[in-house]
Amino acid sequence: MTDGTGRTRRRGAELEDAILDAAWGLLEDRGVEGLTFEAVAAAARTSKPVLYRRWPDRGSLFAATVRHRFRDRVLTVPDTGSLRGDVIDFLGQLNGKRAEMLMQLTAIGLYVRDIRPLTALHEGSRSSVRRIMDEIVRRARVRGEVTADLPDRVLAAPGEMLQVRILTLQGPVPPEEIRGIVDEVFLPLVDAYDARVTPDRS
């Protein structure tokens, strides 16, 4: 089927992929300021109303473009056999993905002063991070490493701290810092909550 101009009409995921690929190309060529609805519509050979039906503003289009670019960097649930090992492994994955994203965004003109779009992306990925942390703790509970129900803030703490350090360093966090987040912050919090459940744990 054509669109009346001789071009094949694209729909659904095919059209969205084409739009987001075009948007990333604009980011690389023109930087953040070059990402406009007019420019993306022209580059993707579509119309602005088509874009606005999917993304109501420039910020949401930007976030979708970056998520699309990095969608192949899939986070997986580690299986090292211990809570400590699993969280360190997972933070290592997250460190690589987030640092790569930050460095590529910096290369196209997004700097720390433009932190809001990157923060929006972080917020958008919270569900996948929480899902993996839930599974890590579930497995640890089966092994008897965790007794208490851990609050959301405790489960989110390792990823949030890592995010802050990546932004501060403008690049990946060294492995020893990741181990410090786990050994000096996360595991002591887990122990503290477990101690409330089983006071004679020691």
**Domain shared by 103 and 163, yes or no:** yes
**Domain-embedded: residue 98:** yes
Residue-wise pLDDT for 62-87, tens only, equals 888 888 887 766 789 999 999 999 99
Q: Do 40 and 114 fall into the same domain?
A: no
- pLDDT for the residue numbered 167: 81
87 φ/ψ angles, rounded to the nearest 5 degrees: -70, -40
Spatial CA neighbour of 42 closest among 67, 65, 25: 25
Q: Which residue has the higher pLDDT, 123 or 75?
A: 75
Question: In 68-170, at which residue ranges do the beta strands (DSSP E only) sit?
Answer: none
Tell me: the pLDDT tens digits for 132-155?
999 999 999 999 999 999 999 999
Do 139 and 54 share a domain, yes or no?
A: no
Other CB atoms within 10 A of residue 133 CB? 23
In a domain, 77, yes or no: no
Does 133 map to a domain? yes
**Domain of residue 54, residue span:** 12-69
Asked whether residue 48 falls in the same domain as residue 118, the answer is: no
Q: What percent of the chain stands above pLDDT 70?
A: 83
Question: CA–CA separation, 93 vs 76, rounded Å?
Answer: 8
| pLDDT at res. 188 | 97
- pLDDT, the chain, mean: 84
* Same domain flag for 102 and 35: no
For the chain, the helix, strand and coil percentages under 3-state DSSP, each to the nearest 5: 70, 0, 25
Rounded Cα gap, residues 135 and 78, in angstroms: 9
Same domain, 45 and 138: no
What would the mean pLDDT of 170-190 be, rounded to a whole number?
96
Q: Are residue 53 and residue 95 in the same domain, yes or no?
A: no
| Structure letter (DSSP) for residue 185 | I
What's the CATH number where 64 sits?
Answer: 1.10.10.60
Cα–Cα distance measured from residue 199 to residue 147, given in angstroms and rounded to the nearest whole number: 11
Residue ending a domain, choose from 21, 43, 69: 69
pLDDT at 3 over 90: no
pLDDT of residue 28: 84
Reported pTM:
0.71
